[in-house]
Amino acid sequence: MRIYDLATAEQDFIAEVAARSHQDVRTCYQCGNCTAGCPYTFVYDYSVSQIMRLIQLGQQETVLRSKSIWLCGSCQSCTTRCPNRIDVAKIMDVCRHMARERGYATEREVKLFADSFLRSVERHGRAFELGLMVDYVLHSGKVFTDLDLAPTALARRKLPFQPHPIVGRDQVERIFQRFRQGGAHA
């Protein structure tokens, strides 16, 4: 299918992904190298090369409502394997942001965990694991998530009761403020 055969909404979606990722999605020729190296294909509803094809076809709803964009671990394997030098991981990232902006969170727990992580970094300048866990439990209601790991983590001093003070915490906070001023979405 040629791009000018697509409806305006489909073309707009392709253009938005391209503009926000600074990648030319048209150059993907479906070799499958990205999917072959993706460690999370086994839990995706659409493999990463299928996501690329869906974007080329302007299938906004299917892409933005997919589980795959939330389950992507941002490992960059797809990006390093692409023979056309497409930053595929960046495209997955952009799609996840676009899904957020439209109020889609197909994998709710993943979104809630990411939110808790970001709140922790904003508050302390880096992740404070214990606080992050409490925040996630409060927002998700998943009281017993990974609770069995707590005794081992505590015994190995992997879960400090106080956040570590870091230099430049206020600078980290300002990054979040600048992001919000730029038009962030919940």
Contact (Cβ atoms closer than 8 angstroms) between residue 38 and residue 62: no
Start-end of H helices in the chain: 8-21, 33-37, 48-56, 60-64, 68-71, 77-81, 88-101, 108-124, 129-140, 150-155, 169-181
Q: Is 94 in the site for ligand SF4 (CB under 6 A)?
A: no
Amino acid letter for position 13: F
Least distance (Å) from ligand SF4 to the CB of residue 158? 25
Q: Is 50 in the site for ligand SF4 (CB under 6 A)?
A: no
Among 21, 23, 49, 59, binds ligand SF4 (CB under 6 A): 49
Span of 9-17, 24-32, 136-144, 173-181 interacting with ligand SF4 by CB under 6 A: 24-32
Span of 27-35, 104-112, 127-135, 155-163 interacting with ligand SF4 by CB under 6 A: 27-35
Q: Is 42 in the site for ligand SF4 (CB under 6 A)?
A: no
Q: Is 54 in the site for ligand SF4 (CB under 6 A)?
A: no
Among 1, 2, 7, 29, binds ligand SF4 (CB under 6 A): 29
Q: Is 75 in the site for ligand SF4 (CB under 6 A)?
A: yes
Least distance (Å) from ligand SF4 to the CB of residue 92? 5
Q: Which long-range contacts (CB under 8 A, 24 or more apart) does 124-129 make?
A: 124/163, 124/164, 124/166, 124/169, 125/166, 125/168, 125/169, 125/172, 125/173, 126/163, 126/164, 126/166, 126/172, 128/160, 128/163, 128/164, 129/158, 129/159, 129/160
Residues in contact with ligand SF4 by the rule CB under 6 A: 28-34, 37-40, 48-49, 52, 72-78, 81-84, 86, 88-89, 92
